Amino acid sequence: MNFQDIIFNLQKYWSDNGCIIKQPMDLEKGAGTFNPDTFLRCLGSEPWNVAYVEPSRRPADGRYGENPFRTQFFYQFQVLLKPSPDNAVELYLGSLKRLGINLKLHDIRFVEDDWQSPTIGAVGLGWEIWVDGMEITQFTYFQQMGSLLLKPVSVEITYGLERIAMYLQGKDNFWDLKWSDNITYGELHLESEKQWSVYNFEVASVSMLLDLFKKYENEFERVMGRGLIFVGCEYVLKCSHIFNLLDAREAIGVAERTSYITRVRNLAKKLCSAYLKKREELKYPLLKKG
Amino acid sequence: MKKNLLFEIGTEELPPSCVREGVSGLKRILGNKLTENRLEFEDIQAYCSPRRLVAVVERLGELQKSKIKVVTGPSLNVAFDKEGNSTRAAEGFARSLNIKVSDLDEIEIKGRGLHLGKRIIEKGGKAVDILPDILKGTILNLTFSKQMTWANYDIKFARPIRWILALYGNEIIKFSIANLNSGNITFGHRTLHPEPIAIKDIGSYFKLLEDKGKVIANDVKRKELILNQIGKLEEKVWKGNYRVVLNENLLNDVVNLVEVPNTIVGNFPAEFLYIPKELLVEAIQHHQKYFAVLDKSGDVSTKFLIVQNGIRDNDEIKKGNEKVLKARLSDAAFFYEEDRKHDFDYWVDKLKGVIFFSNLGSVYDKTLRLKKVSVYFAGLQKGSRLHGKDDISTNLAAASMLCKCDLVTNMVVEFPALQGVVGCQYAREKGEKSEVSKAIFEHYLPRFATDIIPSTDVGLILSITDKIDTITGMFLAGKMPSGSEDPFALRRKASGIVLSVLKGKYDFDLTDLINYNQQLYKESFDFKGINDLKISTGIKDFIIARYRFLLEKKGKRLDILESILGSGCCSILDIDLRYNAVEEFIGSEDIKKILFPMIRCKNIIDKKEFEEVDEELLKEEYEKRLFSSVNKKEKAIKDLICKKDYASVLAELYKFGEIVDLFFDKVLVMDKDKKVRSNRVSLIKKAVDLYLMLADFSRLTVEGGGSV
């Protein structure tokens, strides 16, 4: 199954199962979780079922394209179901079947993996899911976001698209994956992976990044003062990405690192509280549809 | 009629640690609740798998045991008049119970005499009526160290509960919790038999689950199966040429990661075999939970074991896992190669960026302290077997600087269980002395209650001083353990200190070491409102409490320890030597011959003031004899204590007892002359001090009541 067909199949499957299919957000982020369709929409009582592809960036994970499957850029397929349905695991297994995995012939395992993201104050319990030993999905029941307790609880299902493709196509690395019948993942991404690795580790201007972090932090406060929550959200994401870049440049000491994380987390907390308040003011418009 | 009860809580995949917590909690809580509710049963057993916690209660009674309720009314004086006729009070009371006065009993109320009353036998209710609350309560009372909520429900559990099976005999015990109703339905293996299975009678549960559901719900059986499969491989297939590394923790995790274990053998490329053995084994075990396999000479082989969840005949599973392990080993090799590009100077420098504890500086700061404290410790050992071993201090200084370095290596960041192991390996590779590299590994010992203790002096001393430094820091930061809370495992560390001190036979005053360590902290950091003495006494008592705990665990007498602590001795080794001597003495001689004379002396000197004994004032023969004996013994005992010959000290004190007894029999302490009297009391004080050089024997408990 080609890389793009995996996406088509997952989109169709989750659409058949009641999700709206959204498109990626036009901003750098470390994971699909940071997209406001998860980050913010998991808050509050309104039902929300969504699936989307999310290009993700983790500057420190770059390996100049030399590691078979560790890269600073990759794709996630993200599903968020709120409230978590009682058959969430069965639904997920159904999606594997849709991808052509015979569940009776393969060893599907749920291995404890309690997930947290200190920068956005998120905590969840769940598993990494293995097929014949290969981790292909993170399955998480969110417990906290923006340091706020969640009720109802959402379940987040994050497929590592490249890993699933490696598994399905029997390939040993990302670059040989078939994106479509006549073009490979490597042809599309290898050169940019190399360039970004050079930038992330060697070229990115630390002074500019430190400066931007401060400016974005200030801008966040300014727009939040005007109640512009979705705008504020983007500045939290920008701060988070800049922090990741600084981390890749090894520009932040250990003690400072903690304080940067705390700064971003405080922004996230403020943002989430403001979002909840706004939804209340709007009288939870999505509740009616639930 | 007695019937069995089957209770199964079906869940999404529980982490292995939660399975263990859950199964022990289920057995305890359900057992307690049945007992509290006066339901009798013969036995209760609990079983588990990643997707179910199961309890089977055998021969559970159908009725609660009846209970006698005592109702009391007016006292007899009030209930009957002088002629013995019942009063209105008595009749009113009888009416309230719907019986006649003549049917009432006389019941004694403690301290208030006889009253009218009635013993009413409350018949027990039916088990089927009470069980719903008991089972529901059991689920609600089960707690896990990590819990979660799901969907909209209020209940907390380790992972979502998806079904509840509750059968008493053939009857369903009906109750609901969150969105679930209990029933007689269970589910088989997640993918091999996801369909529901109805349980018609309890006896068929395990068999149906296994045959139809492809699940073995008994964890003990799963463990046996894995061990059998491994045994068969080793004997029949490998003919004794290969051996599986059976890490107990890993095995217990794997048992609870699968509902039916099926062991298959995979292979990885030989190109990874150059990675040092312990690192390679951990890389095989850590993420993927595979078992490593050694060849005949004890080296890691290219074989590894996969325990898959379910029995399938599919070569792709083996191939898939082989591919994953190859990638994991590539990672490990990458980390190992990266690490090899650096040296210890690089890592020592990196330790500056690693926080030891907030307000207590970096791990680098700790390293510098450790160097000073361990060299100081070696200095305290003058005159011991370490005397003249000059390289001890040199080795300690070197090992102190290197022992924390592996915390910043790629290998330990990736595989935290390898801390110490990696440091030791890298030190060897970099040509450090074997005493130093070994100490890097040993200084973390013991890592858990039953772990090994360091085997070398450098390892032992570094282990002791590293732990003393951490405990001192935590006490200064106000993080001492309280009650059951011990987040930094300081108790385990203190136990480690005691065990290492005893193994190395190091004689030193705990307070000296603690004070020195505390001073080092205070040179670098500011602690406001800290009372030095309180901290050092607190730490000393904390460590001695662990020695006491170790004695207690061995079932030893604690009064002996208390008596020795009465001497003010602050060296663990010395306390232990004294303990053994006194214990042995008690086993063979009559300790009362030491204890009673000492108590006689102590009773006299209680709360009195003392002066130097004036020899001129000693008139009577037996007080003169006591005086000269005290003086002679004082010198002799001092010498013996220096040699730590406590058996001889006890022999001296034993003989001394006769002189004390003679003194008390022949001499009246309370002389009319005040000077003579107080001189005698001062003499007795000297006698008491003689005993106290070894122990305060008056704290011993003996038959016939020796304690004062």
Give the pLDDT mean for B286-292: 94
Q: How far is B316 from chain A (nearest CA, A)?
A: 8
pLDDT level of residue B526 (50, 70, 90 thresholds): confident
- Per residue in B494-523, pLDDT (tens digit) is 999 999 999 999 999 999 999 999 999 999
Contacts of B21 (CB under 8 A, 6+ apart): B144, B145, B158
Residues 143-202 of A with CB under 8 A from B: 143, 151-153, 155, 167, 172
Binary contact (B317, A68; C-beta < 8 A):
no
Inter-axis angle of helices B558-565 and B572-588, to 10 degrees? 120
CA distance B268 to B263: 16
Distance of alpha carbon B131 from its chain centroid, rounded?
A: 35
Task: Name the residue among B16, B306, B354 with its Cβ closest to that of A254.
Answer: B354
Contacts of A19 (CB under 8 A, 6+ apart): A49, A50, A51, A79, A81
Contacts of B259 in chain A (CB under 8 A): none
The answer to whether A104 faces chain B, any CB pair under 8 Å, is: yes
Q: What homologous superfamily is domain A3-200 in, according to CATH?
A: Bira Bifunctional Protein; Domain 2 (3.30.930.10)
Task: Name the residue among A69, A110, A141 with its Cβ closest to that of B13.
Answer: A110
Give the pLDDT mean for B96-105: 88
Instruction: Provide the pLDDT for residue B383.
Output: 66
In terms of DSSP bridges, do strands B300-309 and B291-295 run parallel, antiparallel, or are they unpaired? antiparallel
Give me the residues paired with residue A20 across strands. A50
Give me the residues paired with residue A180 across strands. A183
Binary contact (A151, B150; C-beta < 8 A):
no
Which region, left, alpha or beta, applies to residue B98 given φ > 0 means left and ψ of -120 to 50 means alpha? left
Interface test with A, best of B17, B150, B256 (most A CBs within 10 A): B150
pLDDT level of residue B704 (50, 70, 90 thresholds): low
The answer to whether A288 faces chain B, any CB pair under 8 Å, is: no
Distance of alpha carbon B263 from its chain centroid, rounded?
A: 34
Domain range A205-289, CATH class: mainly alpha
Give me the residues paired with residue B60 across strands. B3
Give me the residues paired with residue B61 across strands. B2
Backbone angles phi, psi at B233, to 5 degrees: -60, -50
Instruction: Provide the pLDDT for residue B708.
Output: 39
Q: Is the pLDDT of residue B292 over 70?
A: yes
The answer to whether B655 faces chain A, any CB pair under 8 Å, is: no
CA distance B595 to B698: 6
Measured between CA atoms, the residue of chain A closest to residue B50 is A110
Q: How far is A12 from chain B (nearest CA, A)?
A: 23
Measured between CA atoms, the residue of chain A closest to residue B193 is A104
Residues of chain A with pLDDT under 50: none
The answer to whether A134 faces chain B, any CB pair under 8 Å, is: yes
Tell me A41's DSSP state.
Answer: T
Instruction: Provide the pLDDT for residue A65.
Output: 92
CA distance B311 to B646: 66
Measured between CA atoms, the residue of chain B closest to residue A124 is B148
**Predicted structure pTM score:** 0.80
Question: What tokens does B508 get?
Answer: 């030193």
pLDDT level of residue B237 (50, 70, 90 thresholds): very high
Judge contact between B440 and B420, C-beta under 8 A.
yes
The answer to whether A1 faces chain B, any CB pair under 8 Å, is: no
pLDDT level of residue B647 (50, 70, 90 thresholds): very high
**To the nearest whole number, what is the mean pLDDT of chain B?**
92
Instruction: Provide the pLDDT for residue B313.
Output: 81
Q: Is the pLDDT of residue B181 over 60?
A: yes
H or E, element range at B454? none
Q: Is the pLDDT of residue B192 over 60?
A: yes
Instruction: Provide the pLDDT for residue B707.
Output: 43
Q: Where are the domains of chain A?
A: 3-200, 205-289
pLDDT level of residue B156 (50, 70, 90 thresholds): very high
- Per residue in B680-693, pLDDT (tens digit) is 999 999 999 999 99
